[in-house]
């Protein structure tokens, strides 16, 4: 079946669809040995030989979803012309080819997702999905209230005004302040540029949350695999899944015999009422009712007879 080249490249775990478009435009993709540079081009993976940089696409049936605590000094890419360390170098023991979902700058640290599921990655990075991303920013000097309000309300950048953000103070000291900035856009170096726009000098930048996921106890350079629930939860609006309804276990009655239970407690349907728990006399039933004996006639009276 014919599929767009950027979709095939993404499904093969090379990169995201958006980044695959750049590969096509740069002339790095071939179909049956012929360079293809048109974004609308299609190919049949069952019949055609699609290659990127001369390497044929290989489709993995097993999808991987990885959460990495990225240290500073690593490139969020699969190759680098300056031969700097790559984030994939940290994934020891991962044999499948995975690529980053979005990116973190060379000097930015924190939570980074990697996968070989192109459709999943594309949905997370699409602007309409609006996954929340929280950053902790260490700023040189003091942060003024007015600067925090400007960040929260949206600031003018060269590529347009940013969407409203959630900004709060995390920690304050004499030399530096830590603030939290939560955004749902995915512009290049957005948080750094936002801070620069309000005259804040960023000393350290760390992403601490992506949707409902946080770094947890992972140390820099460590990673873990996402659970199935986490993978599905990120696809919910804002990347935060709805909590599962909790099962409420009804407490057992602690009332003793002869003592009325306190509170507005309803008995299960069909349970017999007894005087021990309600204080009322037992209801008459067929078993405990005494048959009424016919009255005897008084002396001098004729015996009563029943009318038929």
Q: Is the pTM of this model over 0.85?
A: no
Q: What is the DSSP letter of 75?
A: B
100 and 207 share one domain: yes
CA distance 110 to 209: 8
124 and 14 share one domain: no
Tell me, yes or no, whether 286 lies in a domain: no
> What is residue 1's predicted lDDT score, i.e. its pLDDT?
75
Q: Residue 35's domain spans which residues?
A: 3-56
Indicate the residue among 201, 218, 234 that finishes a domain.
Answer: 234
What string of pLDDT tens digits covers the 308 residues of the chain? 788 999 898 878 788 888 899 999 999 999 999 999 999 899 988 788 999 999 988 876 688 999 999 999 999 988 888 999 999 999 999 988 899 999 899 999 999 999 988 889 988 988 777 799 999 999 999 999 999 999 999 999 999 999 999 999 999 998 999 999 999 998 899 999 999 999 999 999 999 999 999 999 999 999 999 999 999 999 887 555 544 443 333 344 444 433 333 344 344 444 444 444 444 444 444 444 444 555 555 555 555 555 54
Indicate the residue among 206, 234, 262 that finishes a domain.
Answer: 234
> What is residue 233's predicted lDDT score, i.e. its pLDDT?
92
Of 232, 236, 283, 276, the C-alpha closest to 257 is 276
By the 8 A CB rule, do 267 and 273 touch?
yes
Integer CA distances (angstroms), 47 to 2, 52, 198, in order? 10, 16, 55
Indicate the residue among 188, 216, 234 that finishes a domain.
Answer: 234
Q: What is the CATH number of the domain that holds 212?
A: 3.30.2350.10
Q: What is the CATH number of the domain that holds 49?
A: 3.10.290.10
70 and 33 share one domain: no
> What is residue 295's predicted lDDT score, i.e. its pLDDT?
54
Tell me, yes or no, whether 292 lies in a domain: no
172 and 83 share one domain: yes
Catalytic residues: 105
Query: How distant is the alpha carbon of residue 139 from its chain centre?
Result: 28
Tell me, yes or no, whether 304 lies in a domain: no
51 and 194 share one domain: no
| Number of separate domains in the chain | 2
217 and 134 share one domain: yes
């Amino acid at each position: 079946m014919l599929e767009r080249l950027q979709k095939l490249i993404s499904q093969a775990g090379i990169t995201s669809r958006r980044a695959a478009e750049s590969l096509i435009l740069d002339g790095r993709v071939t179909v049956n040995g012929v360079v293809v540079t048109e974004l609308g081009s299609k190919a049949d993976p069952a019949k055609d030989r699609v290659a990127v940089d001369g390497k044929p696409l290989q489709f993995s049936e097993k999808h991987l979803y990885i959460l990495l605590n990225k240290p500073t000094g690593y490139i969020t890419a699969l190759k680098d012309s300056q031969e700097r360390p790559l984030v994939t170098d940290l994934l020891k023991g991962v044999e499948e080819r995975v690529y980053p979902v979005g990116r973190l700058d060379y000097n930015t640290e924190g939570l980074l997702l990697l996968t070989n599921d192109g459709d999943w990655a594309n949905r997370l990075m699409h602007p309409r999905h609006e996954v929340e991303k929280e950053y902790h920013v260490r700023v040189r000097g003091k942060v003024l209230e007015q600067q925090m309000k400007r960040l929260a309300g949206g600031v003018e950048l060269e590529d347009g005004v940013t969407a409203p953000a959630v900004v709060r103070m995390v920690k304050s000291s004499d030399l530096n302040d830590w603030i939290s900035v939560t955004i749902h856009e995915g512009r290049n170096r957005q948080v750094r540029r936002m801070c620069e726009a309000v005259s804040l000098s960023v000393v350290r930048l760390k992403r601490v949350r992506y949707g409902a996921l946080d770094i947890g106890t992972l140390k820099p350079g460590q990673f873990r695999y996402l659970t199935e629930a986490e993978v599905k939860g990120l696809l919910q609006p804002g990347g935060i899944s709805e909590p599962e309804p909790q099962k409420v276990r009804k407490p057992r009655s602690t009332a003793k015999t002869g003592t009325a239970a306190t509170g507005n407690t309803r008995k299960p349907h069909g349970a017999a009422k007894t005087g021990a728990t309600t204080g009322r006399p037992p209801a008459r039933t067929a078993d405990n009712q005494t048959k009424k004996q016919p009255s005897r006639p008084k002396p001098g009276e004729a015996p009563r007879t029943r009318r038929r």
